[in-house]
Structure 1
């Protein structure tokens, strides 16, 4: 419908407020609007209070369905893993890989390895030119804060495993740590997918969701640095740095376990004072690692130098986690 100037007018509806129980009220939504945005019974609507106290309604379900369309990855090769992971993180529930030529065994292996690292992902059909991946993870049942807590527990445990690997110069312990990193990465991908779903539903404040994703990235980076240390140990067999240097480095690595847990705890509990304490504690630890770099047994061994450098980067990541701790928001 247009006004006298030929300008299309927006529909305006008048509705009666209905009381439901003692504390709730209901308004019937216009059928035309519900049909237009594709809502169905049981779908959710996000209601935002504006500055003038008017309400803005956003159809969450239609946004969610938009991300559930099939993804067609045409190109195969070097970017295949990245494209599958990106589609998973974006919230797609069905990923279809297609190629004009028959998919190679190398491409199929990349798909399988990638799928193993994504929670809820399964290859449901496969042919010469196409592979279909279905994501069965229900993000509505995933709580980002619980996923982050589990990821932190895995990281803290892996720091301890790596400390043992350094102390014993054990390739076996180092390989265990590398396998553990796959689980750390899996939790990171799960959290990012859940954060995007929560952002659409409005179940957690946007700032908190952004902070959770940032913390998860710091945790993933710590995991990657532990892998680098483990690779140094696993690839050098029985050839190891001087014993005294090794023992000192392992001791500093173990000191990173309690600081890891305390830094994460300060963030999760909104405890700014604890965050400040942990940052001071970690800063002292970084200074002691810098002193360790000047130790004779470390100076003469490039592997020991590299390990100490990675431990310093891990400590800096812990400071980053504590540093984004904010006071508990006002209710």
Structure 2
């Protein structure tokens, strides 16, 4: 509902206008709470609660489960609701007691998603509460953390090949889980950004660039998945595969070092806008692909088409997936840099 209010003078030079009481009550504002003030393109002003947590309405839903309900389906539904910004999920059993497998699944889900806690229990009812305020996390900081995790995964694989320290492969798989958790968090943040426009400054992501950051997070998740699969192959094949891979270890190290360099450049370019550096990123990705092709050719000449070469080929295909993900990230980083550049770009 539109209201017309007079601008009042406060002090010697400050102008002010009071906020509508109905709106203040609706969004739960109190004296001293910060608000975001955005000047729009048409020179109008938009006032938004600074924290999404100030919204008084809780987005809640319920799930009814039968004894034969699928654990995987339940997990996927809860995961989707988390991404979509639901604050409270009530799971109700059609039986007098929640099936043991579903109860165990709910506990695992609560551990998997950042900010999810089981807050209410009864034999046939479980309530999951998402106790997270998106405004408390910078989206760019979350992306940087994901990049650091993927970089560590590359480094752990390289170190394992050189040292044989088997525990590093388990670490790679643990880091992949953490990347998944952060990816879910950033998707939830960007959904909140759509619902609460005032979050843009806190998250460090302009509304226009939300899809670019979403693309970066998704690509990092895909790269982490590929690297985790490499770790699994190395675990399953054991010392025999490791011995074969060491025949050209210097070339493999060059490949992985190139991936680490690309990630370092991505982090730098995201935090310090530089069109030239962003453009160089795309060239580095092409070099990454060339390095792994060189390694594949050398291993083929050394091993031929024996069983170990086929395992190495499987790993190289996954390194290629990771490379494709890095290429997608590099393209998004370039787009972000172009958008953040001045109206007149000097080349």
Q: Does 1:186 align with 2:181?
A: yes
> How far 1:177 moved relative to its partner?
0.8
In structure 2, the partner of 1:278 is 281
In structure 1, the partner of 2:321 is 313
Q: Decide whether aligned partners of structure 1 residues 171 and 236 sit closer, same or farther in structure 2, where only a CA change above 3 A counts.
A: farther
Q: How do 1:48-127 residues align onto structure 2 when only pairs under 5 Å count? A: 49=39, 52-55=42-45, 64-66=55-57, 68-75=58-65, 76-77=69-70, 78-101=72-95, 102-127=97-122
SS for the counterpart of 2:98 is coil
Q: Does 1:302 align with 2:310?
A: yes
Q: Does 1:16 align with 2:19?
A: no
Q: Deviations over 1:272-317 (max 9, x none)?
A: 2112212212212202212332232465311100111111221222
- What value does the CA root-mean-square deviation take over the aligned residues? 3.0
> How far 1:206 moved relative to its partner?
0.7
> How far 1:41 moved relative to its partner?
2.7
User: TM-score normalised to the size of structure 2?
Assistant: 0.80
Q: Does 1:197 align with 2:178?
A: no
**Aligned equivalents of 1:148 and 1:86: distance in 2?**
20
Q: Deviations over 1:8-39 (max 9, x none)?
A: xxx6533211234677532123445555x555
In structure 2, the partner of 1:255 is 258
> How far 1:251 moved relative to its partner?
3.9
Q: Which runs of 5+ in 1 are unaligned?
A: 1-10
Decide whether the 8 Å contact of 1:161 with 1:174 is kept in 2: yes
SS for the counterpart of 2:129 is strand
In structure 1, the partner of 2:229 is 228
**Aligned equivalents of 1:266 and 1:40: distance in 2?**
38
Q: Decide whether aligned partners of structure 1 residues 156 and 168 sit closer, same or farther in structure 2, where only a CA change above 3 A counts.
A: same
**Aligned equivalents of 1:174 and 1:23: distance in 2?**
64
Decide whether the 8 Å contact of 1:266 with 1:322 is kept in 2: no
Q: Deviations over 1:73-94 (max 9, x none)?
A: 2244231111222222222332
Q: Decide whether aligned partners of structure 1 residues 56 and 248 sit closer, same or farther in structure 2, where only a CA change above 3 A counts.
A: closer
Q: Which runs of 5+ in 2 are unaligned?
A: none
Q: Decide whether aligned partners of structure 1 residues 220 and 299 sit closer, same or farther in structure 2, where only a CA change above 3 A counts.
A: farther
In structure 1, the partner of 2:160 is 165
Q: Deviations over 1:182-238 (max 9, x none)?
A: 222222222222333344124241123332222121111111111010110112233
SS for the counterpart of 1:235 is helix
State the number of aligned residues. 319
Q: Decide whether aligned partners of structure 1 residues 283 and 51 sit closer, same or farther in structure 2, where only a CA change above 3 A counts.
A: closer
